[in-house]
């Protein structure tokens, strides 16, 4: 197999990746303290920074701890969840109030827009572009994919908890070169779905444009957003003849069932 054209050393992404994490006390253990111990979050912020995690918001009760964090694109959800829980338990212990956590946690991707809005945005790419040639627009619509059996509202369930890992991925052609051949669009459409099947992703919406493409998908929780983006960049480049068809970058953002405002309201019990 040829060497990958795109890697961590030559790809510079744009990203906005956020997770909402919820942890509960063990049923056999004590509830959490009524208030977070003094210095807890200042210590945690320093501990999480080398892990690529940044604490944005928190909501604390005796029954549950809810955190919203941003991450770098090379952090996989399972790693994120492990680092959050592990560091939190360790710092609580060092501050003199150790607590046992439930084995199960919840980690869900969130963003400024909810799943339905993101999927609608991807689905309407061709219609919203306003192409002068209506026939060309109809040709592009033929390569849109929206598998009816894919539901990004459903979590990935493991022995350690429930994960909602939904990404909006955008790849742009190098130099904004405009593709126009039906065979190219067909190759891109077919290969995107083949990559998803091979890698364990689930694509809910795929729209191909002359100089970029959009994907709304559920990723494999063991893979980082960066790994997922590179999988599409490299495999699609190979399918089109193994040349640098994409810019040396990509955009990836997270989304979920609730936007950021709704997540805050839920955490506050509204």
pLDDT confidence of 267, banded at 50, 70, 90?
Answer: low
Domain that includes residue 106, residue range? 17-110
Q: Which of 110, 138, 162 is the last residue of a domain?
A: 110
Q: Verify that 93 and 169 share a domain, yes or no.
A: no
The pLDDT score that the predictor gives to residue 25 is 95
Let me know: does 65 contact 58? Beta carbons within 8 Å.
yes
Q: Are residues 196 and 131 in the same domain?
A: yes
Q: What percent of the chain has pLDDT over 70?
A: 97
pLDDT at 149 over 80: yes
Query: Looking at the structure, do residues 136 and 38 belong to the same domain, yes or no?
Result: no
Q: What's the mean pLDDT in 100-117?
A: 94
* Residue that is last in its domain, among 57, 79, 110: 110
What's the structural domain count of the chain?
Answer: 2
Task: Show which of 110, 139, 166 is a domain's final residue.
Answer: 110
Residue 258 has pLDDT above 90, yes or no: no
CATH number of the domain encompassing residue 49: 3.30.70.1290
pLDDT in tens, 165-222: 999 999 999 999 999 999 999 999 999 999 999 999 999 999 999 999 999 999 999 9
150 burial class (0-12, 13-18, 19+ CB within 10 angstroms)? middle
Global pTM value = 0.95
CA 197 to chain centre: 17
């Amino acid at each position: 197999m040829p060497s990958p054209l795109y890697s961590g050393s030559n790809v510079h992404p744009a990203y906005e990746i956020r997770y909402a994490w919820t942890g509960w006390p063990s049923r056999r253990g004590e509830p959490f303290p009524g208030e977070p111990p003094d210095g807890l979050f200042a210590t945690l912020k320093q501990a999480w920074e080398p892990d690529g995690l940044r604490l944005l918001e928190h909501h604390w009760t005796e029954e549950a701890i809810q955190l919203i964090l941003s991450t770098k694109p090379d952090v996989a959800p399972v790693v994120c969840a492990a680092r959050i829980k592990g560091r939190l338990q360790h710092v609580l212990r060092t501050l003199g109030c150790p607590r046992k956590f439930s084995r199960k946690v919840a980690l869900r991707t969130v963003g400024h827009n909810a799943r339905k809005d993101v999927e609608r945005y991807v689905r309407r790419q061709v219609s919203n572009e306003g192409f002068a040639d209506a026939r060309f627009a109809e040709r592009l619509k033929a390569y849109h994919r929206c598998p009816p059996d894919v539901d990004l509202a459903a979590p990935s369930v493991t022995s350690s908890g429930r994960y909602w890992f939904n990404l909006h991925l955008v790849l742009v052609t190098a130099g904004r070169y405009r593709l126009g051949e039906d065979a190219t669009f067909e190759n891109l459409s077919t290969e995107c779905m083949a990559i998803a099947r091979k890698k364990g992703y689930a694509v809910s919406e795929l729209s191909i444009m002359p100089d970029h493409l959009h994907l709304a998908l559920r990723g494999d929780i063991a893979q980082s957003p960066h790994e997922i983006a590179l999988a599409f960049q490299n495999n699609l480049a190979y399918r089109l003849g193994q040349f640098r068809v994409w810019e040396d970058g990509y955009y990836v953002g997270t989304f979920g069932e609730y936007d950021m405002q709704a997540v805050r309201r839920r955490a506050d019990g509204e």
